[in-house]
Structure 1
């Protein structure tokens, strides 16, 4: 295997099994619920997704903290001390300051370890979209790709990553500033379910509006069926916010309609779940572009 370590943050929503198989390092991000601060580990050791979303349904509000510069230094440095370089694939810089904190850490470490490298790539992605780029980078690494080859692959293919979401409750988008109070009320009364996507700059933007939950799930599937390229070679990632039945529906329909190589389903963790709320669901795959 090439002599570098791949590092990402827990917004990538990789399953514990994938983390182990890919041998990637995942930095947990913090979320606040009640008066307690928790860390979002891949194995959800401090709070399960089910408990998190149950508490949101009960009316609690959650906030999140970005990873600070010191934590990045403490994560990267042991690998540099062992003679390894680091490939860091981070959460979209358009949605969080976390990536910029990583750049600050890298600048500090460059002075201390001039012979070693930390190569950063802004995924311009969220959740398992970010995770999908990490997944393919790790497979490239295991196949012998250099750190520059893996970084280049991610830098190019991040613009071919389709990331589509729908949410069940518009009020969480309203609280996060993504939707006006009037639009949330009007949409809820009409049963409107927005379909959202991540654009080329890593922003969360509206893609379309449909009426009804099943129609919103079908909109995700229709978009995928229209834009996915060579699905027989692809792994599709699906995440959900305590909506296992809807995730099963997406899984079965995606498997039947596009016949991908593999589909992996996971919970969407608290960092992004704080903004989407219970019932959110997303699908990630490679296409010709992000549209």
Structure 2
């Protein structure tokens, strides 16, 4: 095993089983619901995704906090003390200040541990898109890749990561400033479902608009069929916001259409779910580009 620890944040939405198998460290991010602050652990020990989305459906609003510099120091330092280097793969810097806080922590630790390294990589990704990069980096590590080789792989392949998703309720995008109130109102009245993606700079951008939920799911599948490369060698990740039936549909269709090596499905956690709302669903895989 290479002498470094891979660290990521909980927006990667890795399943508890994957976290254990890959040996990665996951820093829980915070979300606020009501008057309480919760931590988003991979095992959802403080609140299940089902409860979280049920409370959103009941009209509650959720906010999120980025990971602060102190938390990064407290996470990285024990590994450095043990003589390990750290590879940190973080949530897109275009959507959160979390990555910048990590860089601040790294600068502090460099002075204290000049013989050790913390190598940061901005995933330019969200949810299990970030998680997919962590997954492959951990497999590289287990195969004997050095920290620089694993970091280089992520830095290159983040631009080949396709991240497409759709939402069921436009009002959550409106609240998050991603959609105007008028567009949300008329879109909802007309049954419009946006298909969105993450661009090369890690920004959330619209890809297309379709009418109807099933059509939006099929749009994700059609895009995957056109762009996925060597699916028989790939692991595909699917996440959903308490939409298990739609996730099953995507799973079955993806398995039938492109015959990937493996498909892993998980809940989309509260950190991103606060902005997408119940019913959001996404699919992640490697393609020729981020389209």
TM range (shorter): over 0.9
What whole-Å deviation, never above 9, does each CA across 1:94-128 have from its counterpart, x for those lacking one? 00000000000000000000000000000000000
RMSD: 0.2
1:58, distance to aligned residue in structure 2 (A): 0.1
How far did 1:170 drift? Answer: 0.1
Structure 2 Cα separation of the partners of residues 238 and 278 of structure 1:
15
Distance in 2 separating the partners of 1:200 and 1:135? 20
SS of 2:8's partner is: strand
| Offset, 1:230 | 0.1
2:143 corresponds in structure 1 to 143
* Alpha-carbon distance between aligned partners in 2 of 1:263 and 1:111, rounded to the nearest angstrom: 43
Deviation string, structure 1 residues 55-85 (Cα, Å, up to 9, x no partner): 0000000000000000000000000000000
Following the alignment from structure 2 to structure 1, what is the Cα–Cα distance between the partners of residues 75 and 175? 33
What residue number does 2:200 align with? 200
The C-alpha deviation readout for 1:202-237, integer Å capped at 9, x for no partner, is 000000000000000000000000000000000000
Q: Which runs of no fewer than 5 residues in structure 1 stay unpaired?
A: none
Under a length normalisation based on structure 2, what TM-score does the superposition of the two structures give?
1.00
Aligned position for 1:277 = 277
Q: Give 5+ residue unaligned stretches, structure 2.
A: none
- Superposition deviation, residue 162 in structure 1: 0.2
> 2 CA distance for matches of 1:60 and 1:176?
14
Deviation of the 1:157 alpha carbon: 0.1
- Structure 1 position 18, deviation (Å): 0.0
TM normalised by structure 1 equals 1.00
Deviations 1:182-201 (A, max 9, x none): 00000000000000000000
Query: Displacement of 1:246 after TM fit?
Result: 0.1
